Homo-oligomer: A and B are copies of this chain.
Amino acid sequence: MADKKSDLLQGTLDMLILKTVALGPIHGYGISLRIQQISEEVLQVQQGSLYPALHRLEHRGWLTSQWGESDNGRMAKFYQLTPLGETQLKAESENWTRLSNAVSLIMALEGGSK
């Protein structure tokens, strides 16, 4: 209610996933752990956000998947980036830089109160 801080910046999840997968094939659960670790526990990807997002990205042709075995011998679905996905990642990355810089321009202005 009122202020409900999200664990993510809305709209960045797809990009974060693509970027993480771009580092090398990895399964879904691993993606969420990696994002959390690299962001120093700031970003947290809920499973209810993660899996729908993965299906979305696969459905759009940015990712492909195949079942394999994880480190501890469990079945897991491994994702990897398609060429299309690479293009998309680049586009989203540039868009992020553009927009976040623009936001910073506003937020850096002097004059809080009065």
Cα A88 to Cα B2 with chains together (Å): 10
Cα A12 to Cα B94 with chains together (Å): 18
With A39-B105, A43-B102, A99-B8 in contact, do A111 and B60 touch (Cβ < 8 Å)?
Answer: no
Copies in the complex: 2
A91 — which chain B residues lie within 8 A by C-beta? 3
CB-based nearest B residue for A61: B2
CB-based nearest B residue for A90: B112
Give the distance to chain B from A114, nearest Cβ to Cβ, in Å. 7
Max count, chain B CB within 10 A of own CB: residue among A11, A60, A90: A11
Pairs across A and B, CB under 8 Å, 11 listed: A5-B95, A6-B11, A9-B9, A9-B10, A12-B103, A15-B107, A16-B106, A20-B106, A23-B109, A42-B102, A90-B112
